[in-house]
Amino acid sequence: MRLGTMRFRQPEFAVQVVFSPDGKRLASIGGDENLRIWDVPSGELVVRTVSREMDGFELEALACSADGKLIAAERRSSMQLLDATTGAVVRNVGSGGYYCGVALSADGEVLAATPLSERVYAWSTSTGKRLLDVKAYGPNARPSLTLSPDGTRLWTFLRGGGARLWNLETGKEEEPAWSGMKDSVAGAFSDDSRRLALTDGQGAIRVYEADHEPVELGTLDGGVVTLVFLQDGDSLAAVGPSGVLARWSLASHTRQKDVALKRFLPLSKSGYAQVIAISRDGRYVARPGVAIQLWDAASGDVLSPVDGGTQQPVGLVLSPDEEYVATGNEDGTVQLWSLITGKCVGTYSVGDEYAYPVGFSATGEALIVNTLEGSIVMLRVPDLMLLRSIEDTDAQAIDLLDGGRMAVVGPVYDDGIALMDLRDGSVILRPEGQRSEGFGQVAVSPDQTLVASTWMVHDDKSHSDISIHSVQ
């Protein structure tokens, strides 16, 4: 059987998603250089454009025109305009670099992009003429950007602050009208280009409009990942790194009730590159990953399963009763899946490093997990609530015995393998005559009387040594 479903499932990690203006289609792009367009209600793939010039570089640039007819995407180291219905290339615009940000004007006539290099570009899509070509940042700055729908003004942002405003009619930089604008880290324009919403690194959101004083709407704790004016003309929506969706009424300047996106794995600051998308009709929120996650914006309910999390699994174990399977992921999350329903029933994060499920207790009531941060964690089944954590073991591998109450762990405290009581973390036995460097793996014999361990020996000819120890 399959855990989860095939809805919004990609063979490669999706690094960016964007909604069509009506919220009915979702486009994604990722490491295999293929653009995919999905039907949102069904989760089915309706268009896939195939790139045959693979170079292994993950693509991160994607935008949709206001009428939903065109998609701008970076593929094969160039910017392309694609038909949003068929995926066919309408025209190529710009080349010569990998782009981390792209924006399209409402009529599709202006395309702006920020490559991984120091420059910021803008083009006329009908003539191919460059409207902007400036060296704006240092190497690998990875700025984000927002373009006014009328195609006349471009804001570029750095995650640590340092916003800049560009006039695309003159091709020159302009001084922002209000102090504090340069501290912004993200922004969005209203459909009529008259209003601009900006947010700083602390999550404070302000709305600017010509001939009006700035309006401070409030602060989203933890900062803002995505900021969008909704199509109703009276709402501004934002998502924070912890999965809180907030909305404000622009008429009354009041904050509506927040919505917590369920089973949302929090983003670290480095994870902000995973752009969260909010549909302009305010109905959906989407997040890229191996399986694209989709939420109902009104309730926070998950509409597409969190299929394997946002990273590739690095390990799995089966429960003794064969009712569950636990997976560990590259992003430090552990997930428990029901083999009866195929759904995820529990999620736990051990940090930013890999999580390796080791095994279940004999009764199946606890799951033991090893982490690259040097901790052994015991989690309750099935909700994966933390039962116990043994810190700073520096264990590189574990095997269980005595029904999961004890474990052979290696190395422990940089001193070779040991038999550990998982109830309190105490070391019961440490075999004599063992190596303590270059550790590899451990394994317990079926009768639980012997332990085998491997060691990498680095000499003129690097090789592995295998040691056998009695645990009786």
Q: What is the DSSP string of 343-394?
A: -EEEEEE--SS-EEEEEE-TTSSEEEEEETTS-EEEEETTT--EEEEE-S--
What sign has the CA pseudo-torsion 151, 180, 187, 156? positive
pTM comes to 0.65
To the nearest 10°, report the CA torsion of 127, 133, 137, 139. Answer: 80
- Residue partners of 171: CB distance under 8 A and separation at least 6: 131, 132, 133, 134
Q: How confident is the model at residue 319, as a pLDDT?
A: 84
| Residues across the chain | 472
The answer to whether residues 226 and 271 touch, using CB atoms and an 8 Å cutoff, is no
Cis check: omega of the bond before 411, within 30 degrees of 0:
yes
In 10 A of CB 9, how many CB atoms?
Answer: 20
151 vs 153: CA distance, rounded Å: 6
Nearest to 248 by CA among 260, 256, 239: 256
Q: Per residue of the chain (472 residues), give pLDDT as tens.
A: 344 454 566 656 677 788 888 889 888 876 666 788 888 888 888 888 765 444 444 445 688 888 888 888 876 567 788 888 888 888 888 765 667 778 899 988 999 988 776 789 999 988 889 999 999 888 778 888 999 999 999 999 988 888 999 999 999 999 998 888 999 999 999 999 999 999 998 999 999 998 889 999 999 998 998 999 998 889 999 999 889 999 999 999 999 999 999 888 777 654 444 468 999 899 999 987 767 788 999 999 988 754 444 455 667 777 878 788 888 877 778 888 887 776 788 888 887 667 777 778 777 888 888 776 667 788 888 999 988 887 766 565 555 555 555 555 555 445 566 666 666 666 655 655 555 455 556 666 666 566 666 655 555 555 556 666 665 6
> Which residues partner with 388 through β-bridges?
378
Cα(120)–Cα(99) distance, rounded to whole angstroms?
10
pLDDT at 443: 64
Closest residue by Cα to residue 432 from 392, 384, 471, 398: 471
CA torsion 292-297-301-302 (nearest 10°) is: 0
Residue 106 corresponds to which tokens in the numbers above? 């409402």
